[in-house]
Structure 1
Amino acid sequence: MYLRKRTVLKYLTGLTLGLVLYCEWFIYIAQPLFWNKLTCDNSIKNDRCTKILFISDPQIQGDNAVPSPIGDILNWDSDRYLQSTYRVVMKQFKPDIIVFMGDLMDEGSVATIQQFHGYVKRLSNIFDTSYPVVQIWIPGDNDIGGENEVVKPDKVLEFNKVFSQPSVISYNNISFYKVNAITHSIPQPLDEGDLNYKIAISHFPVLTRTAYAKKVINALQPDIFFCAHDHVSKYVQHQHDFVKSRTHLLQYKDPVLVLPLENNESIYEIYTPTCSYRMGTFKIGFGAAVIDNDHLKYTVFWSPLRFPCLFVYLLLSIIVFGYTLFICFMRLFSRLCHHLPDSEDTKRLLPQV
Structure 2
Amino acid sequence: MRKTSSLRVLTKKSFVCYLAVLLLFWNEMLYPFIHSSLWDTLTEDDGLQAARILIVADPQLIGYQNELPFVGPIARLDSDRYLSLGFFYALRHGRPDLIIFLGDLFDEGVEGSDEEFEWTLERFDKIFASYKSVQKVYVAGDNDIGGEGERVIGWRKDRFARRFPNILSMKDLGLRGVAMDEMNIFNGELRNITVPSGEDKLSIMLSHAPIIRNFGMGARHAADRHSDLILTAHDHTAWSYTRQRSGGSSFERVPIERGTVVEQTIGREQPVLELQSPTCSYRMGVPDMGYGLLTLRRIDDEADGTKLQVQARYTVLWLPGRYPQMCSYLVLVVWLMILAAHRVLYAGLRSIVLTRNKNVKQNIV
Question: TM-score, structure 2 length as denominator?
Answer: 0.86
Q: Tell me the distance in 2 between the aligned counterparts of 1:236 and 1:14.
A: 49
Secondary structure of the 2:219 match is helix
Question: Paired residue for 1:195?
Answer: 200
Residue from 332, 337, 357 that aligns with 1:321: 337
Q: CA deviation at 1:61?
A: 1.2
Question: Paired residue for 1:15?
Answer: 19
- Give runs of aligned pairs for residues 37-52 of structure 1, distance below 5 A: 37-40=41-44, 42-44=46-48, 46=49, 49-52=50-53
Backbone CA RMSD of aligned residues: 2.5
Question: Paired residue for 2:150?
Answer: 149
Question: Paired residue for 2:236?
Answer: 231
Matched, 1:295 2:301: no
Q: Tell me the distance in 2 between the aligned counterparts of 1:313 and 1:82.
A: 19
Question: Paired residue for 1:109?
Answer: 110
Residue from 269, 275, 282 that aligns with 1:270: 275
Secondary structure of the 1:154 match is helix
Q: Tell me the distance in 1 between the aligned counterparts of 2:229 and 2:45.
A: 20
Q: Tell me the distance in 2 between the aligned counterparts of 1:273 and 1:107.
A: 19
Q: Tell me the distance in 2 between the aligned counterparts of 1:196 and 1:85.
A: 35
Q: Tell me the distance in 1 between the aligned counterparts of 2:65 and 2:125.
A: 21
Equivalent residues, number: 342
For structure 1, list consecutive stretches of 5 or more residues without a partner in the other structure. Answer: 349-353
Q: Tell me the distance in 2 between the aligned counterparts of 1:258 and 1:343.
A: 85
For structure 2, list consecutive stretches of 5 or more residues without a partner in the other structure. Answer: 300-309
Secondary structure of the 1:225 match is strand
Residue from 291, 306, 317 that aligns with 2:322: 306
Q: Tell me the distance in 1 between the aligned counterparts of 2:338 and 2:361.
A: 38
Question: Paired residue for 1:214?
Answer: 220
Q: CA deviation at 1:330?
A: 2.4
Matched, 1:27 2:31: yes
Shift in CA distance, 259/336, structure 1 to aligned 2, threshold 3 Å: same
Q: Tell me the distance in 2 between the aligned counterparts of 1:180 and 1:225.
A: 12
Shift in CA distance, 22/156, structure 1 to aligned 2, threshold 3 Å: same
The code of the aligned residue for 1:135 comes to K
CA contact (8 A) 2:146 2:152 kept: yes
Q: CA deviation at 1:347?
A: 7.2
Matched, 1:246 2:262: no
Question: TM-score, structure 1 length as denominator?
Answer: 0.88
Secondary structure of the 2:189 match is coil
Q: CA deviation at 1:82?
A: 0.9
Question: Paired residue for 1:260?
Answer: 265
CA contact (8 A) 1:287 1:300 kept: yes
Q: CA deviation at 1:43?
A: 4.3
- Give runs of aligned pairs for residues 88-107 of structure 1, distance below 5 A: 88-107=89-108
Q: CA deviation at 1:27?
A: 1.2
Question: Paired residue for 2:81?
Answer: 80
CA contact (8 A) 1:99 1:137 kept: yes
The code of the aligned residue for 2:336 comes to V
The code of the aligned residue for 2:242 comes to Q
The code of the aligned residue for 1:290 comes to T
Secondary structure of the 2:284 match is coil
- Give runs of aligned pairs for residues 131-142 of structure 1, distance below 5 A: 131-142=132-143
The code of the aligned residue for 1:343 comes to V
Secondary structure of the 2:272 match is strand
Q: CA deviation at 1:107?
A: 1.3
Q: Tell me the distance in 2 between the aligned counterparts of 1:217 and 1:243.
A: 10
CA contact (8 A) 2:41 2:93 kept: no
CA contact (8 A) 2:53 2:98 kept: yes
Q: Tell me the distance in 1 between the aligned counterparts of 2:262 and 2:42.
A: 10
Q: Tell me the distance in 1 between the aligned counterparts of 2:355 and 2:100.
A: 71
Q: CA deviation at 1:76?
A: 1.0
